[in-house]
Amino acid sequence: MTTKPCTICRGRVQEFHDFGMQPLSDAFRRPGDESQEYLFRLAVGMCLDCTMVQLMEEVDRDKMFHESYPFISGGSAGMRAHFEGVATRFLENTTGRGDDFVVELGSNDGTMLSHLADAGMHHLGVEPSAGVARLAVEKGVRVLGDFFEEESAVRIRGEHGPATVIYAANTLCHIPYLDSVFAGVDELLAPDGIMVFEDPYFGDIVEKTSFDQIYDEHFYLFSARSVQELARRHGLELVDVERLPVHGGEVRYTLARAGAREVSDAVTVMIAAEERSGLTEPATLEAFSLRVSDIRRDLVAALTDLRAQGLSVVGYGATAKSATVLNMCGIGPDLIPRIFDNTPAKQGLLTPGSRIPVVDSADFPDPYPDVAVLFAWNHAREITARETGFLDAGGRWLLYVPRVHEMSEPAPEPVRV
């Protein structure tokens, strides 16, 4: 276990789990490509001063976010509905002035901003991955093809004026150089504006042992306490928090300029709950690490046993998260011969590192396998509702969060807390 300086406060980050050498989670490969893959050591630690959870090694942003980046924000019906709700909230809660301006960082395919564009609201997406940015433009979304930092913020303000809202979903956790991002926020945000971002919640990751949320693109794993400290260091204040059921458990954080808005009681309540649960205590992190090791052992044993019985086993959902699971466990085509996925950009390719073929989920029933490992477990309700014939045919869903187990019934309706 090693230490490093914190990227937020320069305090000491203590490593608490090492996942071994990993490939880029979205670096899918063409069959026959034998070129050497880029590998890095995936390990996670917590700052002993500001409590920010972060990766021990940083991957160059240009290696992850590029022309052929395959993740699509609107890839599931559940997320499309979620982002429509976000857009509705912004439309209802802005002032109605003609100078209202909403900026989304990491706007991807424009799923959220397309609703604002349709309503005629002044908006801008900032997206460095050209392929998904083109999809947004096709929806009528205005997009700046760039990374967001102080220089790009100056250009945006000069052309569009200050932002009423700066929004980001599953984006800030990707960015190690947050100092530069918050310098851009300071430049662009209106005096009474808000910054709203939502990302995976470290409290949920620990509670559910959803360790696959830890991969190259998730450099930070936020908590209310660490975000409060992050905001303070940049002249901002955490004024509200909201738990979200999407992506296996997220929190929506709302920041404002210090003293500009009243702080919600929800902030105090969440930070107190984090302290009561011992979220930042060494014993809690050590217990989490031990549970991850148990899951690795149990998942490999379960798959080995199923294959020894002669049962057909597949994966469902070639997610970025699955790269952590497959490569940490050493799972390859011998245990999972193929993974079904509905993302055209991934179909026909091989998973990073493990090199398991990705096939169209439309072929899942032809014929149904005996067992399917649900790597896209955070979309379990949507997937099981779509694949009802699998259980009817005697199929079994195998999950590894919060432990290795079979899901014999369709996933329940998620609870919003």
pTM, 2 dp: 0.90
Please tell me the predicted confidence (pLDDT) of residue 71. Answer: 55
From CA 102, how far away is CA 196, in angstroms rounded?
11
Please tell me the predicted confidence (pLDDT) of residue 94. Answer: 72
Please tell me the predicted confidence (pLDDT) of residue 75. Answer: 61
Question: What does DSSP assign to residue 35?
Answer: S
Please tell me the predicted confidence (pLDDT) of residue 66. Answer: 43
Please tell me the predicted confidence (pLDDT) of residue 416. Answer: 32
What's the burial of 249, exposed, middle or buried (CB within 10 Å: 0-12/13-18/19+)?
buried
* Cβ neighbour number for residue 328 with a 10 Å cutoff: 25
Radius of gyration, CA atoms only, the chain: 21
- Could you tell me if 330 and 298 are in contact, meaning their C-beta atoms sit under 8 angstroms apart? no
From CA 166, how far away is CA 301, in angstroms rounded?
46
Which of 167, 130, 169 is CA-nearest to residue 147? 130
End-to-end CA distance of the chain: 36
CA distances (Å), origin 58, targets 6, 64, 112, 273, 285: 12, 11, 29, 30, 21
Domains annotated for the chain, with CATH where assigned, are 77-282 (3.40.50.150), 283-407 (3.40.50.720)
Q: Which string of DSSP letters, residue by residue, matches 247-280? A: GGSEEEEEEEETTSSPPPHHHHHHHHHHHHTTTT
Q: What is the chain's pLDDT, residue by residue, as a tens digit (417 residues)?
A: 799 999 999 999 999 999 999 999 989 999 999 999 999 999 999 999 999 999 999 988 766 654 555 555 566 788 888 889 999 988 888 755 567 999 999 998 999 999 999 999 999 999 988 888 899 999 999 999 999 999 999 999 999 999 999 999 999 999 999 999 999 999 999 999 999 999 999 999 999 999 999 999 999 999 999 999 999 999 999 999 999 988 778 999 999 999 999 999 999 999 999 999 999 999 999 999 999 999 999 999 999 999 999 999 999 999 999 999 999 999 999 999 999 999 998 999 999 999 999 999 999 998 999 999 999 999 898 899 999 999 999 999 999 999 999 986 554 443 332
Per-residue model confidence as pLDDT tens digits over 59-81: 887 666 545 555 555 667 888 88
Per-residue model confidence as pLDDT tens digits over 302-340: 999 999 999 999 999 999 999 999 999 999 999 999 999
Please tell me the predicted confidence (pLDDT) of residue 124. Answer: 97
The phi and psi torsions of 382 (rounded to 5 degrees) equal -65, -40
From CA 221, how far away is CA 206, in angstroms rounded?
11
Which of 299, 217, 215, 208 is CA-nearest to residue 248? 208
